[in-house]
Amino acid sequence: MSEQAEVEPRSPTDSLRRLSAFGRRFFLAGGILPLVLVIAIVGFALAEPRFLTYGNLFNVARAASFLVIVSIGQMITLLVRGIDMSIGSTEALVSVCVALVMATVLGFDPDAPWLAIAAGIAAGLAVGAVVGAVNGIGIAVFNVNPFIMTVGMLSILSGVALTVSGGMPMYGMPKQFGEIFAYAAPLGIPAPVLFAAGVFVIMFYILNWTALGRRIYALGGNIVASRLAGISTRLHMVLAYVMCSTIVAFGGILLTARVGTGEATLASTHVLESITAVVIAGVSFFGGIGRVGNVVLGAFFVTLVTNGMNLLRVPSYQQLIVLGCLLILAVVIDQVRIRMMQQVRDE
Amino acid sequence: MSPVLAPSRPASTHTSLLRAAGIVKAFGGNRALNGVSIDVRENEIMALVGDNGAGKSTLVKILSGAEVPDEGTIHVSGRLAAIQNPHDAHDLGIATLHQHLGLVDCFDVPQNVFLGRELSTRLLGVLPVLRRTEMLERTKELLRELDIRLPYLDRPVSTMSGGQRQAVAISRLLLGDIKLIIMDEPMAALGVHEGQKVLDLISRLSRRGISFLIVSHNMEHVMSISNRVAVLKNGNLVGVVPTEGATRQDITSMIIHGRV
Ligand SMILES: Nc1ncnc2c1ncn2[C@@H]1O[C@H](COP(=O)(O)OP(=O)(O)OP(=O)(O)O)[C@@H](O)[C@H]1O
Ligand SMILES: [Mg+2]
């Protein structure tokens, strides 16, 4: 990072300064993501040649799609200056409910797998929407701090999921569920990747091209100004959490299809990983700033790191250490970025 | 209502544009407004003055729909108006510049100008889609009309100077069919030059028939620009006096002693 000394425009200093100014604007707009992504890819490719094979990239893409989806959900809560610590247990509860509903419907009519699948997915999405509404109402109406609210929900939801499932994997879902939603690969593209792309397109549209999206950003940017501009801030805050949890629920449904059973301990790493992905992607903890395209890259990056460490046979305990460091580093960089933005303003 | 073209200091028509009567607002046990009645006429610039904590901002918030009064009524152009939120006020032709500007720092200029009033169209008759180009064009138009020059429109307003941010906040006000502009200390954070520009802007707009209610601590500004001065003290209206014929001492004495 360069000092912004006021030097007379002389050509070498000048071009250097222009370069650093460009670098700074790039950093302010997108964070460090493009840089670390390249470093990670080059580093892993040098250390382990198998990393860059088509087969491995196919696997990474499929593995990344679940994290991409839940990170897009997580991003929305950060945009409104909140956070969702309960996404992992939301996925777990969704998983249990989906399995329960599908098995129940199949129990009534074993010849109706599609009805069972439709009912299960609807139930899963509904669970997500309700969880989001509870989070949102707690935060927007009862003014509970978002961290506390969603940590409370984390405990509640995983308690419910464990109670319903008895702590055991839940079987009995139609086999078509896994075939279509997890293992199908039209045109050689894994189904989860297609679903993640669909979520991305929809959220890109909503966040960038609708008034609803603008207002979600506005809420995080300045909630008082939003209210004075006539935006119903409570409604939009609740909507943001409903959107987050519904998207997360969709991720949970896909993950359930992949695992093949309802699991009350599904996706326990997603909270940490999604926050890391989102913050590395330049979504600010202070609200109002972040691009959904970068979040996709951020989730891809986190998956890439995990995959690379697996190929390099880094033990999973040590992987936890790396992921934790990554998260803290990402937050530190977010702070630096915010400070630099204020500097730009003071200039 | 037809806008009246008037000389430089508008001769007000004595027709009431906004009449608030018996406004009471309490925060907990603290009565910020204690039955205040105020009458802004068509085509006039009214100044609202008073010590810190007199209740000026609270009155502004009530007239702009940011707060709802505990008691009292508001009439706009002779008709009873139920102002429950900022949209209601805006629909009645009231636009407000609040004390802390109300800008979203991370938004660019058009995004701030159209905050909460985004223009959308429906793609294929169903999908709502923002009309970004039109919002940008209309922002440019507004700025040109107000003779406001900004170095760029597509960067976050957090990168702008105090005066430029003020300009963005002011240009927001003219969106829509506006009859009354309320400003809460519009010159407070500005240098002499920038402050003068805002004063010029106010006279220019008032010549177009827009009325103003302006909160200010700056007596010089108040004396130079207003038709009448309303004085608040401890949540009560001390009085309203025509600016011509009053001296700064008269008004300062009203602010301090609470007597005409
Ligand atoms: N949201 C609020 N909650 C509690 N008390 C409030 C609130 N808003 C205003 N008050 C109180 O109401 C009184 C009037 O405040 P107000 O902001 O209207 O004063 P003001 O005349 O605008 O002062 P200043 O010149 O300092 O801006 C003050 O005593 C203030 O403490
Ligand atoms: Mg005030």
A292-306: per-residue pLDDT in tens?
999 999 999 999 998
Please state which of the ranges A204-213, A256-265, B192-201 shows the lowest mean pLDDT: B192-201
Architecture of domain A34-45+53-346 in CATH?
Orthogonal Bundle (1.10)
Both B187 and B256 in one domain: the answer is yes
Written as one string, the DSSP assignment of A219-264 is HHH-HHHHHHTT--HHHHHHHHHHHHHHHHHHHHHHHHHHHSSB-T
- For residues B115 and B149, state if they share a domain: yes
- Residue B1: inside a domain, yes or no? no
Q: What is the pTM for the complete model shown?
A: 0.88
Helix (H, G, I), strand (E, B) or coil at A329: helix
| Whether residues B23 and B59 fall in one domain | yes
Q: Are both B40 and B163 inside the same structural domain?
A: no
**pLDDT tops 70 at residue B44:** yes
Structure token pair of residue A276: 């890391």
Q: What percent of chain A has pLDDT over 70?
A: 91
**DSSP per residue, A259-292:** HSSB-TTTTTTHHHHHHHHHHHTT--TTSS---H
What is residue A9's predicted lDDT score, i.e. its pLDDT?
A: 47
What's the farthest any 2 CA atoms get from each other in chain A?
81
Same domain, B168 and B200: no
| pLDDT for residue A62 is more than 60 | yes
- How many CB atoms lie under 10 A from the CB of residue A209? 18
% of chain B exceeding 90 in pLDDT:
60
Q: How far is A114 from chain B (nearest CA, A)?
A: 29
Cα separation, B248 vs B260, in Å, equals: 13
Q: What is the ipTM of this complex?
A: 0.86
Residues A200, A194: Cα–Cα separation, whole Å: 10
Give the model confidence (pLDDT) of A6-54 as tens digits: 444 456 667 767 767 777 776 666 567 777 888 888 888 898 888 888 8
Does the pLDDT of residue B3 top 90, yes or no? no
Q: Give the per-residue pLDDT at B12.
A: 53
Residues contacting A332, CB < 8 A, separation 6+: none
Same domain, B188 and B114: no
Residue B210 belongs to some domain of the structure: yes
Sign of CA dihedral B55, B56, B58, B62: positive
> Rounded to an integer, what distance in angstroms lies between the CA atom of residue B235 and that of residue B232?
6
Could you tell me if B120 and B147 lie in one domain?
A: yes
Domain boundaries, position B168? 106-176
Tell me if B118 and A342 make a contact (CB, 8 A cut-off): no
Q: How far apart are CA A29 and CA A7, in angstroms?
A: 25
In tens, the pLDDT along B65-83 reads 999 999 999 999 989 999 9
Q: Where residue B26 falls among pLDDT bands split at 50, 70, 90?
A: very high
Looking at the structure, tell me whether residues B145 and B187 fall in a common domain: no
pLDDT digits (tens, 9 = 90+) for A229-283: 999 999 999 999 999 999 999 999 999 999 999 999 888 889 999 999 999 898 9
Q: Do residues B47 and B143 share a domain?
A: no
As for how many domains chain B has, the answer is: 2
Which positions ≥6 away from A161 have C-beta within 8 Å? A89, A92, A93, A95, A96, A264
Name the closest-CA residue to atom 26, ligand 1. Answer: B52
Q: How far apart are the first and last CA of chain A?
A: 16
Clarify whether residues B149 and B256 are in a common domain.
Answer: no
Same domain, B88 and B182: yes
Atom of ligand 1 nearest to the CA of B99: 27
Best of A81, A228, A347 to disrupt the B interface (most B CBs within 10 Å) is: A228
Burial (0-12, 13-18, 19+ Cβ within 10 Å), B28: exposed
For residue A231, the chain B residues in CB contact (below 8 A) are 115-116
Whether the pLDDT of residue B100 is over 90: the answer is no
For residue B230, give the CATH number of its domain.
3.40.50.300
- Torsion of Cα atoms, B88 then B94 then B97 then B100, to 10°: -30
Give tens-digit pLDDT for A109-140.
989 999 999 999 999 999 999 999 999 999 99
The pLDDT mean for chain B works out to: 88
* Average confidence score pLDDT of chain A: 89
In this structure, are B79 and B201 located in the same domain? yes
